[in-house]
Amino acid sequence: MKKFREINQHQLTLLPPNLDELIDSNHLVRLIDKFVSLLPFQLWDACFPGGGAPSYHPASMLKVILYAYSIKIYSCRNIAKAIRQDITFMWLLGMQRPTFNTVNRFRTEYFKDILEDVFTELLDFLHGKGCISFQDFFVDGTKLEANAGRYTHVWRKNTERYKASVKKRVHALLQEIDQINQEEDVKYGDSDLPEAGEDIDISSDEIRAIAETLSQNLSDVTDKKEKRKKKTTANRLKQEADKLAKYESQEDLLGSRNSYSKTDTDAAFMRMKNDSLRPAYNTQISTENQFVTNYSVSQNASDTVTFPEHLDKIKNRGDDYKPKNYMGDSAYGSEENYTALQDNQIESYLKYNTFHPEKKKNFKTKHPFHQNNFSYDDKEDCFTCPACKKLRYIETQEKQSKNGFISIIRIYECEGCHACIFKSQCTKAKGNRRIYYNTKLNQFKEQARSNLDSEYGMILRKRRGYEVETFFGDLRQNGKFNRFSLRGLRKVEHEFGLLAIAYNLRKLAIIDQISKTFFAIYSAILNILSKYRPIRASLAIFDRIYKNDALMRQWATVGNGF
């Protein structure tokens, strides 16, 4: 008897094997193939203009990229390698072998205008299978590192300081030129040099024009020493003009941001969870039953600021894709966000920053001088502090958010804090204690508090953690995705969309497998126990679940993380 099996590595069959027979019927690649095959053909005409030699079919390339992202392959070179070696990729492409450049062009160029439509089709696909109902959305965000150098930062404050230094040196050079030409009539553009002071907003082009004028007039100078001095000054002006142009370009790239990376100019430096400073993007997702129902990418590190733009993506899809309720942590509780939900007729379950501290019994005793612990009198329109002093209305101010949203703030000031024994505990201001009161925001907070403390609000609060955090946990830990592969805001958002679609399809495949396993086990048990009459009645509830595919999927979804 032979101890080991004999392996023949040469040709075993006359005809090549059928790849379809080598792939399991429940394999993830079959679900991705099925979903992409259901997409309308108009999408492919929109993403690929045609012309020249026949291209690889966009549907097949999308299947390959989605499947690659589903199994943690993010590099185009590794995807091209898998196409040559993996039977699942061979099956998707029918043994065709596109190069990594071709894969990258499809990923970054050809699919950039249709990905939102693909995601919307996926939402319809999931809704048809009963996985999502557009009832309760949960929102959260995380910062993912950009494909950029860690030490390639450009800071707004440094740019402004260096730019001011250049203008100061230019001013000194212009004064020096003016002293040299006191007895000459030299024209320097449309203005006299003595008028070009430090406070003048002189541009790099204007400085360069002055330097050119100075260089052109050198031929009229006979004194060699004076000519050499003017030539040196003209060269220095050109150098300063180049430096100023550099800082002007940096300011244009910064826009409203405080920093950017030289490697990826769309990325901003953000504080990561490990407290390190990295070029990154702030990614936002909304989920329902742990499926991603919306995604967005922002250059702003604050979750509060990113939510209106995130909500606009849902609004642009249509009313059918809007949820009835929106749940989020305290990072999203602002007047702007509450107003956005109200305008879209969505019930708000967004927490505000003091929601949890207010729940503690010692909140009033531990923070007696917190604004929330000051009593308000409607008739007199004033607050009363714990020391029984009145804080009366003095003025109204407008506060503008980074998105341009205007909030109306009413300011109340205490009658006199100078002799109060509690002043050191109440305020650090040199003068009297002030309260900045936002009437509309406090109304929104009361409504949010009522919703969150309701019976349904308690259910949503318990669901929020595993609902929305599952995606980020799977992406970082299981997917090993901590850094984007592409550069630029639009390409990064495109890549994040591919990750969201791949995650949804992978999760759906797992739920389908759980459902089929449950159905098989249940059918076997039912066939055995159905012979006994007393047990038939107790199996009625399971029979209803068995016949209701959507209900079965909801059961399989609950608590099913990767």
Q: Residues 109, 159: one domain?
A: no
State percent of the chain over pLDDT 90.
52
**Which of 123 and 234 is assigned the larger pLDDT?**
123
Give the whole-angstrom CA distance, residue 490 versus residue 296. 10
Per-residue model confidence (pLDDT) at position 189: 45
pLDDT digits (tens, 9 = 90+) for 175-208: 777 776 654 554 444 444 444 444 457 788 888 8
Say if 512 falls within a structural domain.
Answer: no
Q: Residues 181, 93: one domain?
A: no
Closest CA to 508 of 132, 93, 64: 132
Q: What is the mean pLDDT of residues 385-411?
A: 90
Q: Residues 162, 251: one domain?
A: yes
Give the whole-angstrom CA distance, residue 317 versus residue 134. 13
pLDDT digits (tens, 9 = 90+) for 16-30: 778 888 888 889 999
Say if 80 falls within a structural domain.
Answer: yes
Task: Give me the domain span that covers residue 183.
Answer: 154-261
- Token pair belonging to 210: 């002055």
Q: Residues 161, 107: one domain?
A: no
Count how many domains the chain has. Answer: 3
Per-residue model confidence (pLDDT) at position 341: 95
Say if 125 falls within a structural domain.
Answer: no
Per-residue model confidence (pLDDT) at position 530: 61
- Which segment of 115-119, 168-172, 425-429, 547-551 scores lowest on mean pLDDT? 547-551
Per-residue model confidence (pLDDT) at position 545: 54
Q: For the beta carbon of residue 415, count every other beta carbon within 10 angstroms.
A: 13
Say if 213 falls within a structural domain.
Answer: yes
The separation between CA 26 and the C-alpha centre of its own chain, rounded to angstroms, equals 33
Give the whole-angstrom CA distance, residue 23 versus residue 498. 24
Task: State the angle between helix axes of 204-216 and 156-180 in degrees (0 to 180), rounded to the nearest 10.
Answer: 30
Domain end residue (candidates: 421, 440, 459): 440
**Which of 301 and 188 is assigned the larger pLDDT?**
301
Say if 518 falls within a structural domain.
Answer: no
Say if 455 falls within a structural domain.
Answer: no
Domain end residue (candidates: 207, 234, 261): 261
Per-residue model confidence (pLDDT) at position 350: 95
**Top mean-pLDDT range of 17-26, 483-492, 507-516:** 483-492
Say if 504 falls within a structural domain.
Answer: no
Residue 392 pLDDT greater than 80, yes or no: yes
Residue 233 pLDDT greater than 90, yes or no: no
Q: What is the mean pLDDT of residues 233-260?
A: 89
This prediction has a pTM of 0.85
pLDDT digits (tens, 9 = 90+) for 56-108: 899 999 999 999 999 999 999 999 999 999 999 999 998 999 999 999 999 99
Per-residue model confidence (pLDDT) at position 425: 84
Residue 269 pLDDT greater than 90, yes or no: yes
Domain end residue (candidates: 234, 261, 288): 261
Q: Residues 90, 179: one domain?
A: no
**Which of 16 and 145 is assigned the larger pLDDT?**
145
Give the whole-angstrom CA distance, residue 129 versus residue 554. 10
Say if 180 falls within a structural domain.
Answer: yes
pLDDT digits (tens, 9 = 90+) for 457-476: 999 999 998 899 999 999 99
Give the whole-angstrom CA distance, residue 111 versus residue 102. 12
Closest CA to 503 of 338, 290, 301: 290
